[in-house]
Chains A and B, each alone.
Chain A
Amino acid sequence: MLKIENLHAVVTDSEEEILKGIDLEVNPGEVHAIMGPNGSGKSTLANVLMGKPSYSVTDGDITVDGDSIVELMPDARAHLGMFLAMQYPSEVPGVRPWQFLKAAKDAIDVANGQSKMSVRAFSRLFDEKVTESGINPDLIKRSLNEGFSGGEKKRNEMLQMQVLAPRIAIMDETDSGLDIDALQAVADGVNKMRSPDRSFVIVTHYQRLLHYVKPDVVHILVNGKIVETGGAMLAEKIEATGYRDYLAVR
């Protein structure tokens, strides 16, 4: 479904190389965890997958269903069913979450040759997901992310993921800064969405989230390269020993 081959990426402005040759294949239905110490390039990988312009791919390829997406703008990637839950979601004054998400859903549906959902049908879907995500209903009447706490922003990201129902969901440190209730809510959201035709790439520093969301594959990313790949056990090992061993061999 999602395949990454020898991916090299730099910071667009400084040309500093962050990703130094990454290979990764995510099959339908799989949950992959990307773990690594601070500054290893985890978040960069998540953002490069979604096409953030502040990074540039200098070598290698990313394909979805066999087609390269490296040249695609972020909106075109979303139209293919990709989604990135942001680590630091932007505040957008004056834009209501409902309005934002309706526009996103419409854009994706239209790009896929489907008709737009009616306002009523969308409202029903939205309300249902608001209840499921456990987000404070008062918040979603405000401007997008404006005045939201860190935890509320993350829940809002989950709400968006649930409404848009992507095929490839990338989560960039969604668990960081969450209290245990919020963490549980995020995990529940992911577990409920797990399905044979949907894949997850979960970027995380800690193993915490992985207590609740069992990954199929765990990758350890250090200094822009995947240094080890294993099963769920690998995450537990990290929990016990940290990243010391990997940093030492570097």
Chain B
Amino acid sequence: MTTQERLTISRESQLEDSGYKWGFTTDIEMEMAPKGVNADIVRLISGKKDEPEWMLEWRLKAFEYWNGLQLQDAEPRWAKLRYPEIDYQDIYYYAAPKSQDDAPKSLDEVDPEMLETFDKLGIPLHERERLAGVAVDAVFDSVSVATTYADQLEERGIIFCSFTEAVQKHPELVQKYLGSVVPYTDNFFAALNSAVFSDGSFVYIPPGVRCPIELMTYFRINTEGTGQFERTLIVADEGAYVSYLEGCTAPIRRTSQLHAAVVELVSLDRGEIKYSTIQNWYPGTKDGQGGVYNFVTKRGITGNDAKISWTQVETGSAITWKYPSVILRGDNSVGEFYSVALANNYQQADTGTKMIHIGKNTKSTIVSKGISAGHGENTYRGGVKILPGAENATNHTQCDSLLVGDQCGAHTVPYIEVRNPTARLEHEASTSKVSDEQLFYLMARGISEEDAHHMIITGWSRDVINELPFEFALEAGQLLKVSLEGAVG
């Protein structure tokens, strides 16, 4: 049923017309399922992972639901995004590095070329000193290839492993929480993900435990035409704390690639989850050819006195459809969303958040910074919902747009629904341009035009970048700079 293909794409021809720094491909033998999706493919994926019956059944139900939506042509189209019709039967739904068949037990057993790829990406897998403080569960295409620091975490009862492993080793936890925040019926892309998800990360922090290190996963899309469907589930039990980092780069592709991930966060009573993302997938060429289509469902739910904080820096992808949200179910719980989204060249981003206040004294903060450059289109889409039982709920929303040049667009679509009169909501919005006066001021001090733009833009994004863990904040600044290259001057 599977075919093996050896994919080699010359680096030179791929790199020609783009400044994409992380654009390269790896010459590794892949094991792939044929293109297209159907119940058999779902069974194949599940079988490849030797999944228990309940997991396969859940996938099949999800597939049936998705297929129903697809037959009704119910792919969501309300976002301010324009892209060619996606042919779901023209996509590979399963690809695993071949050497994975005899699962590497240590880094020594990992395909050297794969290690080299990680090197290029700057993933510090074998550099111990740089690894200090960070455990990496690296996802190469679909299958996790190496996990570090697992033992250290295990001592504290922390589970940090690939989703596939979690299904095998911790079925009770997975079964309890999978789909509890994002059910497979949630939306078109979440349904598709639920049916065919390949792998992802699973985190469980036991009651009262503070995870001593920041957990990190790198996602990377590598095979031509491969859709990538990660599934991440993070549970902070009562009084637990975890900070989770997700960072992404992808190699250059001529054809568009579909990516539909689902992330579920469960923060039980007094628990806290801080989830930070840097998304830098291939944005397409300067003319808008290719690039990743990123349709992501991210949502968390809180217990009493719990907290969930999303921070994202979104610079990549041709299409971004992403609304990390928090269901504030517990009393006194807190939800936060800090976002910088950049759309340059022909990139389109429709992103924002939903804060759903159910518990009493719940509090949410939204800080969204949208940067549009070139022909980029950036839309903030946010929803704040105060349900009748949410006494004394408060929300503060700050939504700023920055325009670079005069061919780009910034749009703000805030929805507010209040069904309790004690709620207090504040909404601030602004749209600005990098002013000629600011540019002249910086340049008159000797700073180049490009650096001046970069300094003004990162300064403007500071409130969000400061929310990122330190190393990520530095990387985010660099990323904004690289992503804006060519947008100015």
Contacts and interface: CB of A to CB of B under 8 A. Distances in A.
A86 B444 CA distance: 10
A144 B438 CA distance: 11
Given A93-B459, A93-B460, A103 B441 contact: no
A73 B448 CA distance: 9
A117 interface: no
A54 to B, nearest CB: 7
A92 B438 contact: yes
A217 B449 CA distance: 35
A88 B436 CA distance: 13
A237 interface: no
B461 A52 contact: no
Interface stretch (B20-28, B331-339, B450-458): B450-458
Contacts of B455: 92, 95, 99-100, 103
A160 interface: yes
B330 to A, nearest CB: 34
A90 B459 contact: no
B435 A108 contact: no
B462 interface: yes
A242 interface: no
A248 B419 CA distance: 71
A16 to B, nearest CB: 18
Interface in B432-489: 435-438, 440-449, 451-452, 455-456, 458-463
B441 A86 contact: yes
A75 B441 contact: no
A84 interface: yes
A53 B440 CA distance: 8
A53 B441 contact: no
B436 A53 contact: yes
B437 A104 contact: no
A231 interface: no
Contacts, number: 84
B463 A94 contact: yes
Interface string A71-110: 0011101110001101011101111000111011101100
Given A53-B440, A95-B455, A103 B462 contact: no
A209 interface: no
A92 B452 CA distance: 11
B445 A92 contact: no
Q: For the complex, would chain B's binding face be called helix, strand, loop or mixed by DSSP majority?
A: helix
Interface string B307-328: 0000000000000000000000
Contacts of B441: 86, 89-90, 92
Contacts of A79: 446
Contacts of A111: 446
Given A103-B451, A103-B455, A90 B438 contact: yes
A235 interface: no
Contact of A95 (B443, B448, B456, B463): B456
A187 interface: no
A50 B446 CA distance: 11
A125 B485 CA distance: 32
B443 A93 contact: no
Contact of A104 (B446, B460, B461, B462): B446
A143 interface: yes
A94 B459 contact: yes
Contacts of A95: 455-456, 459, 462
Interface in B168-189: none
A202 interface: no
Q: Most B CB atoms within 10 A — which of A54, A78, A143?
A: A78
Contacts of B440: 50, 52-54, 74, 90
A52 B440 CA distance: 6
Contacts of A83: 444-445
Contacts of B461: 94
Contacts of A86: 441, 444
Given A73-B449, A75-B448, A107-B451, A93 B462 contact: yes
A75 B462 contact: no
Given A73-B449, A75-B448, A103-B451, A94 B443 contact: no
Contact of A90 (B435, B460, B463): B435
B456 A160 contact: no
Contacts of A2: none
Contacts of A104: 442, 445-447
Nearest to B432: A93
Given A54-B436, A75-B448, A107-B451, A92 B459 contact: yes
Contacts of B435: 90
A144 B442 CA distance: 11
B437 A164 contact: no
B459 A74 contact: no
A104 B442 CA distance: 8
22 contacts: A52-B444, A53-B436, A73-B443, A73-B449, A75-B447, A78-B443, A78-B445, A78-B446, A84-B444, A90-B437, A90-B441, A92-B441, A92-B442, A94-B459, A95-B455, A95-B459, A103-B451, A103-B455, A107-B447, A107-B448, A164-B445, A164-B446
The 4 closest A-B pairs by CB, nearest first: A94-B459, A94-B462, A78-B446, A95-B459
Interface of B: 435-438, 440-449, 451-452, 455-456, 458-463
Given A50-B440, A90-B440, A164-B445, 13 more contacts: A52-B444, A75-B446, A75-B447, A75-B449, A75-B452, A78-B443, A90-B437, A94-B458, A95-B455, A105-B446, A107-B448, A143-B459, A164-B446
